[in-house]
């Protein structure tokens, strides 16, 4: 864990806001004595956060911003720690770094944090619902509660943020080590060590499992390459994709197949031609541990999903694609210059 010491209030506020932020014109709060909650239609300022950290007024964050969110929370509203631990471990299986917080009254919140630009809430909710189904906890509440804010709807639902100063001494609203259920001794050092997840991982899970992605209400039909148009700098196949096609892979065949199909769709390649290219690529693969080369049926399944839906990412940050990344890639340079997450 990072050993950097977070000392003054300004640094604590900045670190807190880096993770627990959403709509900046409204927040939620509650009366610690009665539990009654209400909405506060005021700008979220540093003083809002400081009052929360000092235990003067709790802060609830409205995570949903249009159709984006920077975090997603599974709210286990009971004392039994085993289901949230099972959820956390299952999330880890899918590649998510998830973090367990003791809530203010009972139960636990398990947080997953995304890149600072946020991800589509509909994708995040779809994947979290799937994980909860797998651990037989489908009724666990998820924040944000909606995939997007409907036209005319200004706010979603707030969730109480961690580290309320009035409850931290009671070991509530603090993050705990799931192995011991004891609070991390330095909550600020812990926050500073948190790892974020990018949207590429959500796309991989959705594509591989063939989930039906929720429609975006702000994205016109045919956008993001649905009609062969390319977003971003319009580069054709980037170096990583070219290298994978030329050399094959030894791991993550399904994930890579999906990303190759996305790339070929973005450059305008017809579906049938993409299938032919992918079948030729598969013959170059060298699967580890005696596994079989990806079969045509799986190739068609991955390509079909990529061509039917609007995906724009090449998966640059995923472990399936990142080993092939070329530092001189113009797409990478364009994203860095435009502050886009890889």
User: Model confidence over 124-156: pLDDT tens digits?
Assistant: 999 999 999 999 999 999 999 999 987 766 789
Query: Is the residue at 201 inside a domain?
Result: no
CA distance 114 to 145: 17
Under 8 Å between Cβ of 105 and 36: no
CATH number at residue 51: 3.90.920.20
Q: What's the token pair of residue 237?
A: 């196949």
Among 233, 221, 223, which Cα is nearest to 332's?
A: 233
CA distance 322 to 316: 5
Residue range 94-110: mean pLDDT, rounded: 94
Last residue of a domain, one of 172, 192, 212: 192
Is the pLDDT at 222 greater than 50? The verdict is: no
Judged by DSSP in three states, 57 sits in coil
Domain match, 130 and 178 both:
yes
Under 8 Å between Cβ of 130 and 211: yes
Query: Is the residue at 233 inside a domain?
Result: yes
Rg for the chain (alpha carbons), in Å?
Answer: 22
pTM of the model: 0.68
Query: Is the residue at 78 inside a domain?
Result: yes
Domain match, 18 and 131 both:
yes
Mean pLDDT of the chain, nearest integer: 86
Among 315, 307, 309, 318, which Cα is nearest to 331's?
A: 315
- Helix, strand, coil % (nearest 5) of the chain? 35, 15, 50
Look at residue 216 in the predicted model and tell me its pLDDT: 63
Judged by DSSP in three states, 204 sits in helix
- HEC assignment per residue over 90-116: HHHHCCCCEEEEECCCCCEEEEEEECC
- The boundaries of the domain holding residue 271 are 224-337
Q: How confident is the model at residue 53 (pLDDT cuts 50, 70, 90)?
A: very high
With pLDDT > 90 as the criterion, what percentage of the chain qualifies? 64
Look at residue 139 in the predicted model and tell me its pLDDT: 93
How far is CA 320 from each of CA 226, 248, 296, rounded to the nearest angstrom? 24, 12, 20
How far is CA 159 from each of CA 58, 99, 205, 284, rounded to the nearest angstrom? 11, 15, 26, 49
Domain match, 47 and 142 both:
yes
Domain match, 253 and 147 both:
no
Domain match, 15 and 143 both:
yes
Q: What's the token pair of residue 286?
A: 């060298």
Say which residue, 247 or 341, is predicted with more confidence. 247
Sign of CA dihedral 116, 117, 121, 122: negative
Domain match, 178 and 249 both:
no
Domain match, 281 and 144 both:
no
Domain match, 32 and 181 both:
yes
Look at residue 4 in the predicted model and tell me its pLDDT: 60
pLDDT in tens, 286-332: 999 888 999 999 999 999 988 887 776 677 777 888 888 877 665 55
Domain match, 49 and 133 both:
yes
Q: Which residue has the tokens 């998966």?
A: 315
Judged by DSSP in three states, 235 sits in coil
């Amino acid at each position: 864990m990072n050993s950097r010491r977070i000392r003054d209030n300004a640094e604590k506020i900045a670190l807190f806001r880096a993770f627990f932020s959403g709509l900046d014109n409204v927040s939620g709060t509650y009366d610690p004595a009665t539990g009654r909650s209400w909405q506060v239609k005021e700008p979220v300022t540093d003083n809002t956060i400081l009052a929360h950290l000092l235990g003067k007024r709790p802060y609830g964050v409205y995570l949903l911003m249009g159709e984006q969110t920077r975090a997603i929370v599974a709210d286990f509203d009971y004392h039994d720690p085993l289901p949230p631990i099972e959820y956390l471990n299952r999330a880890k299986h899918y590649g998510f770094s998830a973090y367990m917080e003791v809530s203010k009254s009972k139960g636990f919140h398990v947080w997953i944090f995304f890149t600072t630009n946020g991800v589509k809430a509909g994708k995040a909710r779809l994947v979290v619902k799937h994980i909860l189904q797998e651990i037989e906890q489908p009724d666990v509440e998820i924040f944000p509660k909606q995939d997007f804010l409907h036209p005319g709807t200004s706010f979603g639902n707030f969730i109480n943020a961690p580290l309320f100063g009035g409850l931290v001494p009671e070991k509530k609203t603090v993050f705990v080590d799931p192995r011991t259920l004891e609070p991390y001794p330095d909550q600020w050092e812990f926050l500073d060590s948190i790892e974020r997840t990018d949207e590429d991982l959500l796309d991989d899970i959705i594509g591989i499992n063939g989930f039906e992605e929720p429609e975006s209400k702000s994205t016109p039909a045919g956008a993001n390459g649905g009609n062969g148009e390319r977003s971003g700098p319009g580069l054709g196949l980037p170096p990583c994709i070219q290298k994978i096609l030329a050399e094959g892979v030894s791991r993550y065949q399904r994930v890579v197949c999906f990303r190759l199909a996305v790339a070929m769709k973005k450059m305008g390649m017809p579906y049938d031609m993409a299938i032919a290219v992918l079948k030729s690529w598969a013959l170059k693969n060298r699967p580890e541990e005696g596994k079989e080369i990806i079969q045509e049926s799986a190739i068609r399944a991955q390509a079909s999903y990529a061509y039917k839906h609007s995906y724009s990412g090449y998966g640059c940050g995923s472990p399936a694609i990142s080993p092939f990344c070329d530092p001189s890639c113009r797409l990478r340079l364009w994203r860095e210059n435009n502050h886009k997450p890889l």
